[in-house]
Structure 1
Amino acid sequence: MDTTTKLSSTAGESKYSQDMQLDEKLIPRKVQSLCSVRYGMAFIVHLCNIILMGQNVIMNITMVAMVNSTDHQSQGNVSTEGLPVNSFGGPNEAANSLPAGGSGFGGQYALWEKWCPPHERSRLCAIALSGMALGPFVAILTGGFISQVIGWPFAFYIFGGFGCVCSLLWIVLVYDDPVSHPWISISEKEYITSSLAQQVSASRQSLPIKDIVRSLPVWSLILCCFSYQWLITVLVMYTPSYISSVFNINIRDNGIVSSLPFVFAWAFGILGGQVADFLLTKNFRLVTVRKIATVLGNLPSSTLVAVLPYLRSSYITTITFLFISCGLASLCQSGISINALDIAPRHSSFLMGVSRGFAHLAAVLVPTVSGFILSQDPEFGWRNIFFLLFAINTLGLIFYIIFGEADVQDWAKERKVTRL
């Protein structure tokens, strides 16, 4: 790095610090937190994420009951944990349903553009995003029971009904911004709008497509989201099947064991948001906090999964590693998952829609690639699947560590039009 670059970086950090100090002066000191409207918004999004992920996972759990009831199960299928692993390796139907929910996930960031104060961004977004971890827990814990007791169609009726309820809550209680919300207090409204005054304005500007395509921080965000989604897809879809095949345990019938890792993920996700915002109050740089959260959420998790084939003799150790891996993976909710709000608050919904859309390719590729590996090498297939996960996850993480940023990019700042 040359002297000019260092001076520019120092000036940028100084400007960011001055903006944050200015924001702190403008923001009222005493404003409600847990009982506030913005936290209520986070809770509603949390519920919606539970249902979105639950609807995705319930497809996997009910698939076996659906196939058995129609007696069309092919000879090449093996059912474990409710996941029909066909010759291409897995729950392709569920993977293909993920892009449909992707619009719901990406659209959340348009809400946080106007509702999330920068110094509360980690904790509010973590509360909202942690619903993605609790959704599989609810689906795995209840899906098998519902299918066996009252029939698999009722699993879709019940989760679909809760989806309708969440939609009604969203329509009635969620508003575009604090200014248009009818029940928000004046102090909270001023608190939010003042904190976002430096980043988001009412004027709409055209999307700088060329600048976005040429931005390395954007590409680091996209690639790291892809590698992270690869990790999550393997954890959700394949580690239960691995346990069933290695230890001869029907994980589907033991819903508590197979669902508890997601409770760890839910708790770690919320805790990670609190810790991230706490570190910012201790003068940690924002980019440092984002990268620490992303590293802790990716590297230990993928490493623990990669060593599972060497722990075949210990069921307890394997389950413990899975618990820790799922828990740590959710720390990315305070890192890469909300980084778009840092580098481009005005365009964060677009960036996260693109990055999550690209990441959902991993959800489609994992079943195909993993199934091919298992069919070609039944003896060492699981080891190769987990090694591939580690390699992809590490490459995406390295790219983000090198090129990831947390300062608002020049192309994302408000452009003032001057008239001659």
Structure 2
Amino acid sequence: MIVKNCCRDATSEIRSRYLSICELVTTVFLIPQRYVLGVMGFLAIINSYTMRVSISVAITEMVPPKNSSSHKSDICSYSDSGSSTTNSVTGTTYPALNALLANWVPKQERGRIGALIYAGNQMGTIVSNLISGQLIEATRDWASVFFLFGSLGIVWFVLWQLLCYSDPDSHPFISESEKLYLRREVESVTLKKKKYIPWKKICTNMPVVALVAAQIGHDWGFYMMTTDLPKYMKGVLKFNVADNGIWSSIPYVSMYVISMFCGWFCDWLIRKDYLSVTMARKYFTTVASVGPAIFLVAASYSGCNRALSITMFTTAMGFMGAFYCGMKINALDLSPNYAATVMGIENTAGAITGIVTPYLAGVLTPDQTLTQWREVFWIAFGVFFATNIFYLIFASGEIQEFNNEKQSDDGGEK
């Protein structure tokens, strides 16, 4: 009996100290926990894309240049040219983050928090492009970038385990006011237990199919820029590896700034009832499709003018920043309960373009000439327009019927 009482007292004391620590940590955090999740999600995407993009920069040094047989008038000539696919990396990142956002982000904050998180791919691309080229030139070893970004990924993982939780109720550091706010705003459209996934209804739902089409359009353009822009900078504009990394990052700075502004602007338009959720998603997705389509083609007609080419690429990527408050968070509108599943479907379809576009660019540009690259950009133009038209016709910002699908007694759909 004495031992049992001592154990009970010790347990109570430990629990009391734990709660005291949690209260102390809660007062230390100056921003709501949903924004802490947003920042950590932002860093998660950065981590994924630094590892992805560093390959695109490093591969220009892994693979020796090919002797060209094309006419010299179609090839840029500069004096500083002598410096000597990981789609699976982000395969689970986006669906996992979408599942968390469904539990943490109210409808009226999806634009800015979604843009904050998904803008991590631009920042990851910027950081990787800026650092990779300089690091390779300094160390004379292309493998150095993988050691650096891999180590930073481990640091992020430790912080993620300490700071982020599946839902507000399980979070030890969240304030009571924020927990009550999220219960009121988020739990009204989410189910705590989902025993099955209505695959047939999800896969045949036209707004979901439209979302998949828009994702293919976005990923076609984005992966083409991510994997092929460093090749264009080196093969056509003849930048060396250090300058290649710097100049290849400039378009993503534009995309990052525009994406953050569009996230705030989109939420403002919805909050003021100037646009419905559906119209807001369609509008910003269209901006993010038409702008890049036009300016990527314009870049191919810039010839060997480095400044004009970079300006065109920067403008194209700036427009693409509007995707994140458009189609990228649309899965949360359609189904908070199955947002991760919908994101997984669209992300899988989009990831295929990450395989197709580098291969297609390689086949179409064996000699790295302006004319050959122009074909690549015109194809991107067609993909952007076709997928956007489909999205405009069938997209929706309303919760779909399958979101509240229940299971019948025999285990089937009801």
Matches within 5 A, 1:79-158: 94=85, 97-150=86-139, 151-158=141-148
CA deviation vs aligned residue, 1:25-60 (integer Å, no higher than 9, x gap): xxxxxxxx9711111110011111111100001112
1:311 to 294, 302, 308: 302
Counterpart Cα distance in 2 of 1:290 and 1:228: 14
1:44 counterpart letter in structure 2: M
- Give the distance between the partners of 1:47 and 1:281, measured in 2 at CA: 28
CA contact (8 A) 1:147 1:154 kept: yes
- Where does residue 161 of structure 1 map in the other structure? 151
Unaligned runs of 5+ in 1: 1-32, 68-72, 79-93
Q: Rg larger in 1 or in 2?
A: 2
Q: CA RMSD in A?
A: 2.4
Structure 1 residues 162 and 329 mapped into 2: Cα distance closer, same or farther (>3 Å)?
A: same
CA distance in 1: counterparts of 2:402 and 2:187, whole angstroms: 17
Q: How many angstroms does 1:253 deviate by?
A: 2.6
**What's 1:294 paired with?**
285
CA distance in 2, matches of 1:400, 1:408: 16
Tell me if the contact between 1:252 and 1:258 (Cα under 8 Å) persists in the aligned partners.
Answer: no
Q: Deviations over 1:324-370 (max 9, x none)?
A: 11111021000111101001111010110111111010010001112
Are the equivalent residues in 2 in contact too, given 1:246–1:312 (CA < 8 A)?
no
Partner secondary structure for residue 122 of structure 2: helix
User: Equivalent residue for 2:75?
Assistant: none
1:44 is aligned to 40
Q: 1:158 to 1:261 in 2, by over 3 A?
A: same
Question: For residue 270 of structure 1, what is the aligned residue in structure 2?
Answer: 260
User: TM-score scaled to structure 2, two decimals?
Assistant: 0.83
Q: Against the structure 1 CA distance between its residues 77 and 64, is the aligned structure 2 distance closer, same or farther, given a 3 Å change threshold?
A: farther
- Pairing partner for 2:54 from 48, 51, 58: 58
Instruction: Find the residue that maps to 2:91 and give its secondary structure.
Output: helix
Of 207, 216, 219, the residue aligned with 2:209 is 219
Residues 1:153 and 1:368: Cα distance change in structure 2 (over 3 Å): closer
* Alignment partners' CA distance in 2, 1:75 and 1:143: 22
> What residue number does 1:409 align with?
400
How many Å separate the matches in 1 of 2:368 and 2:122? 32
Contact preservation (8 Å) 1:251, 1:257: no
Task: Return the letter of the residue paired with 1:216.
Answer: M
TM-score by length of 1: 0.82
- 1:10-409 paired onto structure 2 within 5 Å: 35-66=31-62, 73=64, 75=66, 94=85, 97-150=86-139, 151-250=141-240, 252-283=242-273, 284-312=275-303, 314-375=305-366, 380-409=371-400
CA positional deviation for 1:172: 1.3
Shift of 1:320: 1.3
- Distance in 2 between residues matched to 1:105 and 1:411, nearest whole Å: 21
C-alpha deviation, 1:76, in angstroms = 6.3
Q: Distance in 2 between matches of 1:388 and 1:222?
A: 19
Asked whether the equivalents of residues 125 and 338 of structure 1 are also in contact (C-alpha less than 8 Å), the reply is yes
